[in-house]
Structure 1
Amino acid sequence: MVPLRTIALDETHHVEVGALPEALVPDAAGFEALWALHPDAFHEIKMHGRLVRTPRWQQAYGADYRYTGNTNRALPLTPEMEVWLGWARETFDPRLNGLLFNWYDGAEGHYIGKHRDSDINRIEGSPIVTISFGEERVFRMRPWRGKGFVDVPAVPAGVIVIPWDTNRAWTHEVPAPKGARGRRISITLRGFYR
């Protein structure tokens, strides 16, 4: 079992942070191979009734991900992705079955704005597990319709777990980089009904 540290957000909500086992962390060549998987085009989402390109590349694997009026159609899992999924299922929740990759290029100013992950077709009670590779970035938690924030470092080979209730009460984001010029890949694992 991976040792986890709990970060309290308020009296009833928290996130947990830990590290991916060293044997599952890609080396420099492995990171480059993962980076090469990013799509040529940016995914489009619906905001305020119009389609907007995401300021990063995205691709679902294993299970479609429906959010913001669009569906990110899943590609098949690679053997390496199967290993990460198997580890996360054994460590956190056996119902996890879908991965969403986000590729962030700091030199291009890539980010993700504050949001709560969609519950559409997600297995109730299942957590959101994010694995980070590459440059460290800020993973910012904000109370939904509230003030203030808590910054959680998204470190290389780090793992951040957002419980179901925390996702409903708090938003999360990776702000536009200030001084970040490198590349980051995040792999978010969720559980979906089939």
Structure 2
Amino acid sequence: MTQSNLFEQSEENILPQDGIVNYYGCVFNNQEANQFLLQLLNRIDWKNDEVRIFGKQIITKRKVAWYGSKPFLYRYSNTSKTALPFTDELLAIKAVIEKVSNETYNSCLLNLYHHGDEGMGWHSDAEPELKQDGAIASISFGAERKFNFKHKLTQEKKQIILQHGSLLVMKGTTQRFWQHQLPPTKLIKDLRINLTFRTILE
């Protein structure tokens, strides 16, 4: 896909109101996406996530990692993480998505879903450490998965399929008015790695 086609595709806002979500499709070809998937799988310091829900400490099946340009502290779901230094692979991916999205990012939260049974419930990325209304760039490698949005007031829903090597960018007031979700499914047996590049306030 050419850069001009990417720009044209990104002009369409997936959301009908109260936010901006642009889907650029595959910004990495299949060979590049396969290579990054393998590198991330083997070179990232993956750990099972620990979250506290209703006072109970829960260890998730999915694995996570937190990287950045500085040792940023990030708190979510009653847990906190200190960013590891960006790897060469993450810097290479970041350079591409910054050029395509015309945004800059200084940190990245990674999620490893081993199969379709593992997902993510409804939530917004609105932690106080994050730049308010800043862009969040979501890169997908591996299994194609459905990704849902739900308006906090109207409950209106939107759905998109995230492809291998694709880029989705959420910005503006999206996190204020919308939640998003990666629904679990028993139909998918392959793994997926998702990277969400963000901007932490310094």
- TM-score bracket, shorter-length normalisation: 0.7 to 0.9
Q: Could you tell me which amino acid in structure 2 is paired with residue 79 of structure 1?
A: D
Whole-Å separation in 2 of the counterparts to 1:55 and 1:113: 13
Whole-Å separation in 1 of the counterparts to 2:174 and 2:46: 33
Q: Give the conservation status (yes or no) of the 8 Å contact 1:95–1:126.
A: no
Partner of 1:84: 93
Q: Give the conservation status (yes or no) of the 8 Å contact 2:51–2:77.
A: yes
Count of aligned residue pairs for this structure pair: 193
Whole-Å separation in 1 of the counterparts to 2:33 and 2:161: 21
Q: 1:48/1:164 Cα in 2 relative to 1: closer, same or farther (>3 Å)?
A: farther
Q: Could you tell me which amino acid in structure 1 is paired with residue 90 of structure 2?
A: M
Identical-residue share of aligned pairs (%): 22
Whole-Å separation in 2 of the counterparts to 1:146 and 1:76: 40
1:144 and 2:148 aligned: no
Taking only aligned residues, the RMSD between alpha carbons, in angstroms, comes to 2.4
Stretch deviating more after TM superposition (180-189 or 94-103)? 94-103
Q: 1:88/1:58 Cα in 2 relative to 1: closer, same or farther (>3 Å)?
A: same
Partner of 2:168: 160
Q: Give the conservation status (yes or no) of the 8 Å contact 1:128–1:190.
A: yes
Q: How does 1:1-194 map to 2 (within 5 A)?
A: 1=3, 2-3=6-7, 4-22=10-28, 26=32, 28-37=34-43, 39=45, 41-62=47-68, 63-92=72-101, 94-106=103-115, 109-194=117-202
1:72 CA drift (Å) = 2.3
Q: TM-score, normalised by structure 1?
A: 0.87
Deviations 1:159-182 (A, max 9, x none): 111114111111111111230111
Q: List runs of 5+ in structure 2 lacking aligned partners.
A: none
Stretch deviating more after TM superposition (80-89 or 23-32)? 23-32
Q: Could you tell me which amino acid in structure 2 is paired with residue 45 of structure 1?
A: V
Helix, strand or coil at the partner of 2:65:
strand
Q: Could you tell me which amino acid in structure 2 is paired with residue 46 of structure 1?
A: R
Q: 1:67/1:175 Cα in 2 relative to 1: closer, same or farther (>3 Å)?
A: same
Q: Could you tell me which amino acid in structure 2 is paired with residue 133 of structure 1?
A: F
Q: Could you tell me which amino acid in structure 1 is paired with residue 105 of structure 2?
A: L
Q: Give the conservation status (yes or no) of the 8 Å contact 1:66–1:118.
A: no
Helix, strand or coil at the partner of 1:26:
helix
Q: 1:154/1:5 Cα in 2 relative to 1: closer, same or farther (>3 Å)?
A: farther
